[in-house]
Structure 1
Amino acid sequence: MVGVSDIPCVGKVVDRISDATVNALFRGLRYMFCYKALVDELNSEISKVNIEEVRVSRKAAAERDNGKIIYDHVLEWQKEVKEIQESTNEFSPSWRCIQSLPIPNPISRFRQGRQAVKKAKKVNELLDSGVKLMENEIAYHPAVVNEPKPETAYQRFQSREGAYGKLWDALVTEGSAPILGLYGMPGVGKTRMMEQIWSEAKEKKIFKKVVREDVGSETLDVIKVQNQIAGYLECNFESQDNVDRRASQLKHSLLNKGKILLILDDVWREIPFDVIGIPCEDEISSMGSKILLTSREKDACLRNKCKDPVKITILTEEEAWDLFKNTVGACQIESLQDEFLARRVSLKCSGLPLVIRAVGKALLFASHNSWKDALAQLEKGSVEKIAGIDPHVYACFKLSIDRLEEDAKSCLFLCSLFPEDADIYVRKLI
């Protein structure tokens, strides 16, 4: 007898429908009659995921301890594992006690079996993902944040507004000189003014990136300078000792960053830009980028192709007194009942903010006799002849050091044995 399935085309459709119906029927029967085995299988997979989750969590904790940031997809995996753990509590091993309870009706058994299969599929996917996470990196080092870290808030002085304004205009004016310079004697506040300009430029988003390098020292360490600049650019050198290859790579990294501000602080001599990997004037200008130099000497700025360096001068007598009074504290000055003595000490600081703060902090809470002794030391004390350092400035710093506790003084002298801007570890210092 010929049936519907024997009709061409129609027969194939009926066969497919029949297969789908049979498969659905068998799945339903499996859910209903094998639900205990399905739940046991789910619990077994959950146990495996729990083990993997512990491994990932331990690895993530170790990476955090090393200062790394966990990738978002790892955090998402942990979140999904937690959700699946909470949603499968109803299928916990204690479910085996169901045998002591009345047998669930067929509909309940069907639902439990079907849910167990669905969740087992998701658990298997999480398990596979967890294994892959353990085989690869799950965290990364955060980008180096290059921001000014001044110890004190920038204080504006009327005598310096002209220098600040001139430097700022040169920095933001399109078509102005690409290399700028700021110079002045030690302790006058060059670095602090530079940091304020840096902060303002960052706040107003004038540059895509600001890179600072403390050059310092009379001997230029090209590798060190390259490493510090590259660190802020997240540029990983392919060569550790080939200066030329490193310079080429660093130069292209700087050019690829777009409009940047490169700060070279405490410059003592002519810097070989090409040897380090710093683009030439035309390339800097074409990007809209700027190089800002700070130095003790005007000559050092000129040697580095800065055509019109800005000089930062010492404070006026009244500005110096205001800063000194703010550092020591008005109440402390009043308690001396001898403002003239305090003013004489302030005058000996030569109008240099760094010196004023050092001496002011050294005399905090000091007695009237201590102030008199300090003035006598500044006026009559023997001073060393150090190139570039005014004798009165040396005497002021010597006073601030002499007033330290012996342990603090020893610690300071030990720290001075390390290179400038070195990372000094406490264990090594001890």
Structure 2
Amino acid sequence: MDFVGSFVNLIDSNLIAPFVQQIKHFTRSSDNVNEMGLVVGDLKATKNDKEHRLNAAKNAGQVETEVASNWFKAVREIEMKADDIEKEYHQRKCAGGWCVNCWSLYRLSKRSVNLKQQADRYKLNENFDVARPASPKSVKEIPTEPIMENQPSTERMLKQMLDCICDPDPRLGIIGLYGMGGVGKSTLAGKVNNHFKDSSCFEAVIMVTVSATPNIQTIHTSIGKRLGLDLSKDSEDDAREKLFDALGKRKFLLILDDVWSKLELKVAGIPHPRNSKGSKILVISRNQDTCSVMGAKETIRVQPLSEAESWNLFVDKAGEHVASGDIKRFARKIVERCKGLPLAVVIVAQAMVNRHGVGSWEDALREMERSAAELQGMKEEVFVPLKFSFDRLENDMLRSLFLYCACFPEDYNIDIAGDDMLNYCVGEGLLDKLGSLKAARNKGEYLIESLKIGCMLEDGEYEGSVKMHDMMRELAIWITSSSSLESGSSPKFLIKTGKSFKEAPQSHEWVDATRISLIDTQIEELPELGERCPKLTTYLFRQNDILTIFPQTNFLEHMDHLSVLDLSY
């Protein structure tokens, strides 16, 4: 009996049950197709929900996971197959509801059962993440202002920088880029960053703004984010260690922008380039010394634009109408006064872009000749940022010397070894403090060199001389003018230099001045001073050969604190 029972079971499981199942494919074809449609419909709804979540994640900067990509692809194929089955099923049914070809009906039913089972499996496997944080790109493109496009001098500087960066010499691991404020250093740095977008030279190119008061945590976070590290919950020590380890495994280019003082690389979690697979660090600063103390063996100064480049930039920003007609001659003179400083050129162009009357341009030139700060946007966009360089000078003596240099006429070559510097040394009491003329001159020379290194002064036209960039001179005049003084804390200068000045300042203007410069003017008459000038320490009135009326009553006696008086011709 056991043998018979086993034989019957064998016949049932291997012959009868499969046969019955095949019969069901035929008899339940309509139910099978409908059940498949319901399951695939649920799966499609799940897919739609997941796609909405994926799109939201993509908008937040995340990317699709590989698991999600494969799942979506498989589900779409299931949808297509289900559509084909349903379409074919309805096409093959005759008017009475029976299919003319029974074999075709059987096959469709079987396919629908198999597809339903496949859909069930993907419905069960729906618990996965559709998105993940994007892997950091080796280079994140930085938007740069198009203020230096197609400029030969810019291209030359960019090539010089790239040559140093790509030079395998380990001594060039740290490179310095410096120049006065507004000259385009950050724009150039952005171009360097973007240059490596399509290059495999570095595994990571990272640009970080350091600022005058560095925040180590912010620097850690900025670098870590570019490396795909979440350091938000780490202590400063842990963050530093993770960064040091991550950067040490890569060949990187790190661009440190807006550096004002030495940043300890170790504290910032940055390995020294000489120990890190040919990595490079580019230090951007307004001061050459800052680049050097950071370890830069090669420093590159960003020079102002040429006259032709300045004009092309100005026309591009202000519009073609400035390059024709009577406006052009005024526009040319306005651009000349910007002396190649891209920031100033752009700000002035923006101020004049909608000015089409010749009178407006003549008035703008007059304003710039009188005080560039009066022109729209110049104070907020040019002088305030430039003043930060002044404020960050090392000591009051450097600030005083910088302001003193503005007493000389525009484009004047200041003689370091001659009376120009001697007057300053005497006026500041250096002769008394240091005990000898030589020591005072040496101190003056040291201060001048410091201002040159900080891009506050530049070399003059002959050896032993320096001069001020016009925008730096305008900055100094603005700082010492009544319009910028705050609670009387800054010295007030009265500067009227050059042959365009034919009238002396009125007597009331002299009272609060600390320094007065009337060099190389066409003044014929000086005013009667009715009050003392208790703050006046320097009075420069030289290179004037047409003065005919000198005040009769106690003119110089009103200046009882005067240290420097220059009436030479």
The 1:86/1:196 distance shift into structure 2, 3 A limit, reads closer
Partner of 1:190: 185
- Across the aligned residues of Structure 1 and Structure 2, the Cα RMSD in angstroms comes to 3.4
Partner of 1:310: 300
Q: Letter of the 1:215 partner, please give it.
A: V
Partner of 2:120: 124
Q: Distance in 1 between matches of 2:353 and 2:105?
A: 81
Q: Displacement, 1:267?
A: 0.7
Map 1:333-372 to 2 at 5 A. Answer: 333-335=323-325, 337-366=326-355, 367-372=357-362
The one of 252, 256, 273 aligned to 2:265: 273
Query: What is the aligned-residue identity percentage?
Result: 23
Contiguous gaps of at least 5 residues in structure 1: 6-11, 397-430
8 Å CA contact 1:350, 1:392 repeated in 2:
no
8 Å CA contact 2:30, 2:109 repeated in 1:
yes
Q: Letter of the 2:370 partner, please give it.
A: K
SS of residue paired to 1:215? strand
Map 1:178-327 to 2 at 5 A. Answer: 178-216=173-211, 218-237=212-231, 239-240=233-234, 242-256=235-249, 258-284=250-276, 287-327=277-317
CA deviations on 1:31-54 (whole Å, 9 max, x unpaired) are 233434434543442343244234
Q: Distance in 2 between matches of 1:322 and 1:116?
A: 71
8 Å CA contact 1:314, 1:351 repeated in 2:
yes
CA deviations on 1:272-319 (whole Å, 9 max, x unpaired) are 2111100024323xx111000110000111111112211112233343
8 Å CA contact 1:239, 1:245 repeated in 2:
no
Q: Displacement, 1:331?
A: 3.2
CA deviations on 1:213-251 (whole Å, 9 max, x unpaired) are 0112x21101111111111111122733x1111000011
Decide which structure has greater helix share: 1
The 1:379/1:24 distance shift into structure 2, 3 A limit, reads same
Q: Displacement, 1:163?
A: 4.2
Partner of 1:25: 19
Q: Displacement, 1:183?
A: 0.2
Q: Distance in 2 between matches of 1:316 and 1:175?
A: 32
The 1:239/1:290 distance shift into structure 2, 3 A limit, reads same
Matched, 1:62 2:62: no
Q: Distance in 2 between matches of 1:370 and 1:52?
A: 66
Aligned length: 373
Map 1:62-211 to 2 at 5 A. Answer: 62-89=56-83, 90-91=85-86, 101-104=96-99, 106-130=102-126, 132=127, 136-143=128-135, 146-152=140-146, 154-155=148-149, 157-159=151-153, 163-176=157-170, 177-211=172-206
The one of 471, 474, 478 aligned to 1:392: 474
8 Å CA contact 2:164, 2:175 repeated in 1:
yes
Greater shift, 152-161 or 354-363, is seen at 152-161
TM-score, reference length from structure 2 = 0.58
Q: Distance in 1 between matches of 2:169 and 2:94?
A: 86
Q: Distance in 2 between matches of 1:382 and 1:115?
A: 83
The 1:21/1:155 distance shift into structure 2, 3 A limit, reads same
8 Å CA contact 2:256, 2:284 repeated in 1:
yes
Q: Letter of the 1:355 partner, please give it.
A: A
SS of residue paired to 1:276? coil
SS of residue paired to 1:310? strand
SS of residue paired to 2:266? helix
Q: Distance in 2 between matches of 1:52 and 1:325?
A: 58
Q: Letter of the 1:228 partner, please give it.
A: S
Q: Displacement, 1:75?
A: 4.2
Q: Displacement, 1:18?
A: 9.1
Q: Letter of the 1:118 partner, please give it.
A: N
Map 1:37-48 to 2 at 5 A. Answer: 37-48=31-42
Q: Displacement, 1:76?
A: 4.1
Partner of 2:524: none
Q: Letter of the 1:189 partner, please give it.
A: G
TM-score, reference length from structure 1 = 0.75
8 Å CA contact 2:147, 2:346 repeated in 1:
no
Q: Which has the higher contact order (CA 8 A, sep 6+)?
A: 1
Q: Distance in 1 between matches of 2:57 and 2:27?
A: 47
The 1:23/1:372 distance shift into structure 2, 3 A limit, reads same
8 Å CA contact 2:221, 2:232 repeated in 1:
no
